[in-house]
Structure 1
Amino acid sequence: MTQPQPSVTPKLEEPKFGFNEYAERLNGRAAMIGFIIMVVIEYVTDQGVLSWLGLK
């Protein structure tokens, strides 16, 4: 005896472009990591951002 096939098709998410929740969350996390790395570099080298970029 065969079982009937499911009558509901699973919903697959379409790729999203532009401003969406996932992109904003990823961008925020990358910004936080970059900021922490910048603070650590400033603390270790005892120079500000402008100094180690050669702008001051």
Structure 2
Amino acid sequence: MEKKSTFGFTDFAENWNGRLAMLGLAIGLATELMTGKGILAQLGLM
């Protein structure tokens, strides 16, 4: 029986990576709309 890999470019890892990226983008846009500042301004970099 072959052991299933849980590290590297697996379908499982790529699915979670995509989901978390979409969630991060949505949270970033919502935060920008609520504060009126971009992410760099919120972090004090601009």
Query: For this pair of structures, how many residues does the alignment match?
Result: 46
Aligned mates of 2:9, 2:2 — CA distance in 1: 20
TM-score (normalizing by structure 1): 0.72
Task: Give RMSD over aligned pairs.
Answer: 1.6
Is 1:53 matched up with 2:46? Answer: no
Give identity over the alignment, percent: 41
Q: After the TM superposition, which parts of structure 1 deviate over 3 Å for at least 4 consecutive aligned residues?
A: none
2:25 alignment partner AA: F
From the CA coordinates, give the structure whose radius of gyration is larger.
Answer: 1
TM-score (normalizing by structure 2): 0.86
Higher helix share: 2
Match of 2:22 among 32, 35, 42: 32
